[in-house]
A and B are shown apart, each in its own frame.
Chain A
């Protein structure tokens, strides 16, 4: 399932945000949205277009938590482990999800690139703690059981699609 790297999305982003260094983060965000990660091939391309060293781009890409140099799943499941969720027991949810999907701290994405499970410091949905976010949607007051049910629901939807 190797994706071919298409630079068109980068060209459009450069057109929208400008070809200066200050546009770099916005361009990388657009790229991340498109590819669902940052393929290394884009760094030399951007270095030339923005006229900044490739190392600096790599530095920015590795500094920020939201950028990933590894491909993520179609569904990115973020278990909130902010203070409010933590005191309302978010870790058992994380463990249940990992067990269900055969993932671990080191292995965050399933082999079929369907799910990525990770933690997030705070979703700002503290009143709905413990919260889980799947792509852009927040699910409130989760338990290990409801979280697993949610995954199975998505799996079923995907199987029928």
Chain B
């Protein structure tokens, strides 16, 4: 337990020294993407082989460094998930991609022992081999602020966070700044809520600071529910202290004494990492009573979500923490006055808190120098879908879609053609080719009929049917509608029914207009953000892809060839040899026939899954 900030400073110096003393490092990405591709096996193999080969190594920060041993570390997500498992070699900064257990021996013999780069493991694009991570196009255009530590530190070690300058902003806020100064620094920085709404963070904090009703609460929304978004997961799992530090500073600024973190049920590792981080911070006296010998006390709690998308909405989230059904309520009164347990509450998203420490450390002017005039700082995006380099990125606000999709993301995978990008998840909208030079910031996107949302970017190629995408999102929102208000509960259901009809080839004249009318009505009248934005994907796809809707409705045709019910799969009797391979692949037993005679497909049974297409060795099966 550290008694005061002087002791904290001394301890941080010890950690820094230890980290600086590490001469060689092998950093294995421990993010969810790499782990699912076998990163843990690579890590274990490296350790096993180093032991066998008598190469001196250490797996944790050594307080009394020996200097010559190799540090082997499992860090958080490096972001370049597409080509994982990733292994970075330091000090050279080489990045090895798609590393397998079989590669470990060579990595030790050549790279670790002799200091040679293994070029076949380096990333190559268009014939160019990129040895160093920072030269790779995927990384070159990024500016990592909230994700800065993720690929560098061991998330379970508070010492590593301290060694990277962790908790200096906390120290400054606690001892050198008044509550007003903190709030005005955040206000000045222009930081806006990263959960989607873009509400000015400083204004929120000042409203809570003004309240005279105690106790006050600081709540972190880690209920990242947007399908296609995983940036908050990365911060919580890979750099939990950065988020805690932001929350503690919010507490100092607003006079709150309790913090609650609401984490999505699907993120068990985030819960585990946060629990560990809280325990470490308590042990050092960064959380608890009379922190660092001052009269400021702050306690942190974790609540696990139980699977309800609507709990990402502020009042639903606080209701869920209170142990109730997570249903939004009418506002005002707003969360800043009557939030958690009916008390004044600062409610921000994970990424918002992750930006706070840097703003306090480097000042609002620094933060404002990144991004655009009305959207300062950086934004993380989860780049997924039909894109070559799927992964997690962070860029200055105002970076264009073209730079994100083509320079960083490497364009469309498998040589496809860009069609649209869905931004902001089920609350957002689709953007098309004409928007590629649109700067990604709160206001430009709003004008184009989309929102930044939490930052999911799902890229779609020409084989994606936009009506089906709209149906998919409406199905999601309909499922997640809490049922409290009629416009959302009934309206989304009716919209879904119409969309289902259209993709099934049963669309009618007037359906498009009806969808628009319903969509506008729900947006105007729904109780909460979930309902108000539910029609976004439908309205934006109608706006930009009306011809696709019309083709489905009037010609009973899916231009992208995706809608199953509008497809016909037939076997060409001239080419079919009657081998029965297709019939064995068929999941619904729709194919029948006699061996060595042409088979036929029963289109009433066929679900148009296409399994038979790939199974046929004679290319006898065709899709119309």
Contacts and interface: CB of A to CB of B under 8 A. Distances in A.
Interface string A55-98: 01001100111110000000000000111101110011001101
Contact of A126 (B324, B382, B469): B382
Contacts of B609: 91-92, 95
A22 interface: yes
Contacts of B303: 25-26
Contacts of B233: 124
Specify the main secondary structure of chain A where it touches its partner: helix
A26 B271 CA distance: 13
B526 interface: no
B587 A88 contact: no
B472 A86 contact: yes
A66 B464 contact: no
Contact of A140 (B33, B225, B229, B323): B33
A63 B483 CA distance: 10
Interface residues of A, number: 46
Given A66-B307, A125-B230, A127-B392, A21 B587 contact: no
Centre residue among B33, B84, B479, B482 by max chain A CB count within 10 A: B33
B588 A128 contact: no
B323 A20 contact: yes
Nearest to A22: B323
A37 interface: no
Contacts of A60: 323-325
Given A66-B307, A88-B385, A144-B611, A83 B458 contact: yes
User: In the complex, which range does the number of interface residues on chain B fall in?
Assistant: 35 or more
Contact of A82 (B36, B82, B227): B227
B268 interface: yes
A91 B562 CA distance: 12
B390 A127 contact: yes
A82 B323 CA distance: 27
A83 B35 CA distance: 21
Contacts of A121: 225, 227, 309, 476, 479-480
Nearest to B32: A125
Contact of B384 (A20, A28, A127): A127
A1 B482 CA distance: 35
B344 interface: no
Centre residue among B37, B225, B386, B587 by max chain A CB count within 10 A: B587
A123 interface: yes
Given A64-B308, A92-B609, A124 B390 contact: no
B196 to A, nearest CB: 15
A139 interface: yes
A123 B306 CA distance: 14
B559 interface: no
A63 B325 contact: yes
13 contacts: A21-B322, A21-B324, A59-B325, A64-B307, A64-B326, A83-B422, A83-B472, A87-B385, A95-B607, A125-B230, A127-B230, A128-B36, A138-B36
Given A25-B323, A67-B307, A87-B385, 17 more contacts: A28-B306, A29-B306, A60-B324, A63-B308, A63-B326, A83-B473, A91-B609, A92-B610, A95-B609, A121-B476, A122-B228, A122-B266, A124-B229, A127-B391, A127-B392, A128-B32, A140-B36
